[in-house]
Structure 1
Amino acid sequence: MYALIPALVSALFICYGLYVLRSRGPNRAGLTFFAVCATTFFWQASWALLFLTHNHTTAMALARVGYLPILFLPTTLYHFIIELTGSKDERPGLYASYLFACGLGLLLPTTDWMLSGLQHYFYGSYPKAGWLHPLHLAQTVIVIGRALWLLYRRQQRAVSTERTRLRYVLVSILIYFGAASDYLCNYGVEIYPPGVVFIMASLGLIAQAMVRHNLLADPMAAAATIAHEMRTPLASIRCQTRILARSLPELIAGYRPQHQGALGTRQLEHLGEIARSIDAEVSRSNFIVDMLLASARDGIMRSESFAVHSVSVCVDEAMACYPFSGAERSQVRVTISNEYSFHGSDVLLMFVLYNLLKNALQAVKVNHSGAVEVECYSRGTYNWLVVTDNGHGIAPDVLPHVFEPFYTTHHNGGGTGMGLAFCKRVVAAFGGEIGCESEAGRYTRVAISLPLTAASPRNPARKHIAEHYPVAH
């Protein structure tokens, strides 16, 4: 009877881990979540067998086998949170934690330093802590504490939808950490290991976050779903606009002789242009929808669809099509130091420029003054496209996260945290890199480096221009 609960929990965990892996695909967060499920499965399955075993030698062997995943469990949880929050700067600590767990694991089968024997309780045998066991306890507290801090910090800066998902995970990890009460049994406290209750509750919360709130969903796929829903209203607006475009000229022509002076010539001209302006905005909106849908399919990201394009043509087209308002166009200066070509998609590069221009103009607007500069030049073995603004800049703690999906500091609207994440995917598909450097209150510079192509002309005489623009990657 005592073995039934851990057997049930182990089966639930491995089945749910396999379900998530199958339904969500082998992405990094999904794989690390499966690792958490697998370690929990081996831990609880071993305890179920251990509680049924009366032979001392077999019980000790099961205790050692079952304790091996326990040594790695805190690190796999830490790894899962790192992937979930996109905290790439945590990787050195992660590798050190894995290495430490490997060291303890090597001592497990050959010495009694980690497990010094068996405790005999009313429900069966249980491993007794050795003199090195407190090191494992210290590691557990450190890595789980760090994981909780990463979750808390990320959910504080996330948009509302992601914040809800991360709060579920934060609470579930806190509950899972309650399973550490099982360690009391290692030190002679004769109670039935209560950790299984915390594990089941934690599983329920993570299941809620994944199923109801789509925890491991691809951010681009989620955006594509929303974008797809925008097609119907955009099509309706376009249809009504074209009817307006056909009717307005006749209405204006009939209005002029009978209402001289009621509406000025400029007002009438503006009315005549309204339909064309609305149609242009619908076209731009459809363009963004197409890009989001394409990003979810990944088909447009494949190199087979790429060709060689002129960067100056793309920049000129982006500047011509971008919906500048007021005096924004006068704030943007374009400097093409030398013409070059790149291998990729001209449409995607224009979309990247749209995002960079939007962010730069917003930064300048918040600062109530400033300018934006778009530069194209060659340096070393790369071609460069750089967008610089002297707006409000980016805080040092925010800067490392600007390319992460769904990361935004605009909690009251105005941003979803997806634009720069998409830009990074596009540039990576072109074989290039994108980097950002900034100083709060002074400037922000986003630089794209693209590989040279056979069609890229070089201008050595102007190479020194690029030396004035260092870029941090």
Structure 2
Amino acid sequence: MPNRIHCGWNRLLARLRLALAQGVRQSEPNLFPIGIIGVVGFPAYYFIWHDWFPQPYENLGLRLIGAGIFLPYLFLPRWPKRWRPLLGVYWFFTMLYSLPFFFTFMLLKNGMSDVWHTSTMAAMILLVLLVQEWLLLSLLFATGTTLAWLAHIATGGQLVVPPDYLAQLPIYLFVMVTGSIVNYKAALVSQERLDAMFAVSRNIAHELRTPLLGIRSGVGGLRRYLPHLLEAYELARKEGLCVPAMRQGHQHALKSVLDRIENETNYSNTIIDMLLINAGRHQLDASEYTVTHISECVAIALKRYPFRSQTERERIRWRRGADFAFQGSPLLMVHVIFNLLRNALHFIAEAGRGEVVIWTERNGTDGTLHVLDTGTGIRPEVLPYIYNRFYSSRTIDQGAGIGLAFCKMVVGSFGGSIHCKSEYGKYTEFMLTFPGVGHHG
């Protein structure tokens, strides 16, 4: 029995942690405007309820605390990295204080007035919109309400539940239950859409892999028999048999074209794998990684990238620095560079000026690839979220592509890391750092 209780408790904690992470992820793109609303709204409504439409009770101190809690969200891009893991706990405390605790406390202190009944109802609706997991929602509501009652009693209130409060509780519960059901159904529909999209992509991948496999098998057969055919051609020509003339260069081209076809089929299979990985149903296989040289990857990427014009190509500056090797996949690395080039060229096109500078450097056993563009840059409020899955911005990940979230996943699978620094209106620089061969993991 104790083990069963322990396992159940662990599952509950795991579910709460997951719900908290989901809540933070859903709120992150809006934390800056939410911070503005909190910083401005808390003190502003003090004057509204204290001076314009006086209420029985107001508390400037509590409102300043509320404004202070929201203030750090205005500077989220400048949070030190060591603070970022605390964002989930801070978000939970923000929701707890600003919605169920504050509004329930003010409702009790104002004698269950109509104004605060309506305000508390609005707070409950906002809580349901911001917290879509019913378990976390219930925990916030129960904890915040309990703390509000304790604060009410500690400041001279009576331990008597007013009939008006009891009459309002079913309405609050109705809002929470209905909102949770709606949120659950919306999440279910979204998941079903993702599953359907993956099923379609998997079928398309299968249909594409079949002809690619045929092409690859054909290349294997040609690679095996082509030398014999060319040798037979040379013998026939020397014996004076009537055979069509074939220049030596064409014979070499026949041999090299097999390598190109095989490389293209491998590349196409990698693209299919990346699409499936980006859909979240396929994992990167680190066991297939090999020693990869960064300079070769950059050279291949610059050679194969589909530049739209010669002018666009001339904006690239490849300042070859110290080469380094890491354990990874050349094809995946090339596609990561493709994505960084695409973003950089988009920033330059948006600014109507600038260039892309690429260089490498070594730091002991580690190596770093730099990709810098002098285009529009990234707004500071957007910068913390550029790697978030499904996060969209008018200045990030324009058009089709695997996205920066996938780039981070790939680089991370190599044992490396990707960082970005940007000054809006001036530049954006991505730094990809990799451990040297033998230091992976």
In structure 1, distance between residues paired with 2:415 and 2:179: 41
In structure 1, distance between residues paired with 2:22 and 2:330: 37
Find the counterpart in structure 2 of residue 316 from structure 1: 299
Find the counterpart in structure 1 of residue 435 from structure 2: 451
- Give the AA of the match of 1:197: F
Find the counterpart in structure 1 of residue 188 from structure 2: 211
Find the counterpart in structure 2 of residue 198 from structure 1: 175
User: SS in structure 2 opposite 1:191?
Assistant: helix
1:293 matched to 2:276: yes
8 Å contact kept, 2:332–2:410: yes
Alpha-carbon deviation of 1:372? 0.8
Correspondences of 1:336-355 after superposition (within 5 Å): 336-355=320-339
Cα offsets for 1:401-446 (capped at 9, x unmatched): 1111111213999436851000001111111110111111111101
8 Å contact kept, 1:342–1:452: yes
Q: TM-score, normalised by structure 2?
A: 0.52
8 Å contact kept, 2:343–2:396: no
Find the counterpart in structure 1 of residue 383 from structure 2: 399
> Which aligned runs of 4 or more in structure 1 are off by greater than 4 angstroms?
85-91, 96-102, 143-151, 173-188, 221-238, 280-287
Correspondences of 1:45-56 after superposition (within 5 Å): none
Higher helix proportion, which one?
2
Correspondences of 1:360-371 after superposition (within 5 Å): 360-371=344-355
Find the counterpart in structure 1 of residue 369 from structure 2: 385
Alpha-carbon deviation of 1:362? 1.2
Alpha-carbon deviation of 1:193? 3.0
Alpha-carbon deviation of 1:199? 2.5
Aligned-residue RMSD, C-alpha: 5.4
In structure 2, distance between residues paired with 1:222 and 1:373: 41
In structure 1, distance between residues paired with 2:187 and 2:347: 35
- In structure 2, relative to structure 1, the CA distance for the partners of 1:401 and 1:455 (3 Å cut) is closer
- Give the AA of the match of 2:24: I
1:92 matched to 2:86: yes
- Give the AA of the match of 1:408: S
8 Å contact kept, 1:339–1:376: yes
Say which is worse superposed, 444-453 or 184-193, in terms of deviation. 184-193
Alpha-carbon deviation of 1:230? 5.3
- Give the AA of the match of 1:401: Y
Cα offsets for 1:371-418 (capped at 9, x unmatched): 111112112452001111111111111111111111121399943685
Correspondences of 1:247-258 after superposition (within 5 Å): none
Say which is worse superposed, 366-375 or 424-433, in terms of deviation. 366-375
Gaps of 5+ in 2: 1-7, 32-75, 77-83, 97-107, 110-119, 150-159, 213-262
- In structure 2, relative to structure 1, the CA distance for the partners of 1:371 and 1:446 (3 Å cut) is same
Say which is worse superposed, 332-341 or 388-397, in terms of deviation. 332-341
User: SS in structure 1 opposite 2:369?
Assistant: strand
Alpha-carbon deviation of 1:448? 0.3
Alpha-carbon deviation of 1:207? 1.9
- In structure 2, relative to structure 1, the CA distance for the partners of 1:85 and 1:222 (3 Å cut) is farther
Find the counterpart in structure 1 of residue 239 from structure 2: none
Cα offsets for 1:337-387 (capped at 9, x unmatched): 112101111111111111001111111112222211111211245200111
8 Å contact kept, 1:86–1:404: no
8 Å contact kept, 1:403–1:424: yes
- In structure 2, relative to structure 1, the CA distance for the partners of 1:192 and 1:86 (3 Å cut) is closer
In structure 2, distance between residues paired with 1:409 and 1:368: 19
Correspondences of 1:47-446 after superposition (within 5 Å): 80-85=22-27, 91-92=85-86, 94-95=88-89, 186-187=161-162, 189=164, 190-191=166-167, 193-194=169-170, 195-214=172-191, 227-228=201-202, 231=205, 287-295=270-278, 296-299=280-283, 301-327=284-310, 328-410=312-394, 414-415=398-399, 419-446=403-430
Say which is worse superposed, 366-375 or 428-437, in terms of deviation. 366-375
8 Å contact kept, 2:368–2:431: yes
Gaps of 5+ in 1: 1-17, 19-25, 36-75, 103-128, 131-139, 152-168, 239-279, 457-473
User: SS in structure 1 opposite 2:186?
Assistant: helix
8 Å contact kept, 1:341–1:455: no
- In structure 2, relative to structure 1, the CA distance for the partners of 1:101 and 1:297 (3 Å cut) is closer
User: SS in structure 1 opposite 2:399?
Assistant: coil
Q: How many residues align?
A: 298
Alpha-carbon deviation of 1:33? 8.0
Cα offsets for 1:32-57 (capped at 9, x unmatched): 4876xxxxxxxxxxxxxxxxxxxxxx
- In structure 2, relative to structure 1, the CA distance for the partners of 1:101 and 1:282 (3 Å cut) is closer
In structure 2, distance between residues paired with 1:455 and 1:33: 32
User: SS in structure 1 opposite 2:169?
Assistant: coil
- In structure 2, relative to structure 1, the CA distance for the partners of 1:297 and 1:205 (3 Å cut) is closer
- In structure 2, relative to structure 1, the CA distance for the partners of 1:365 and 1:81 (3 Å cut) is same
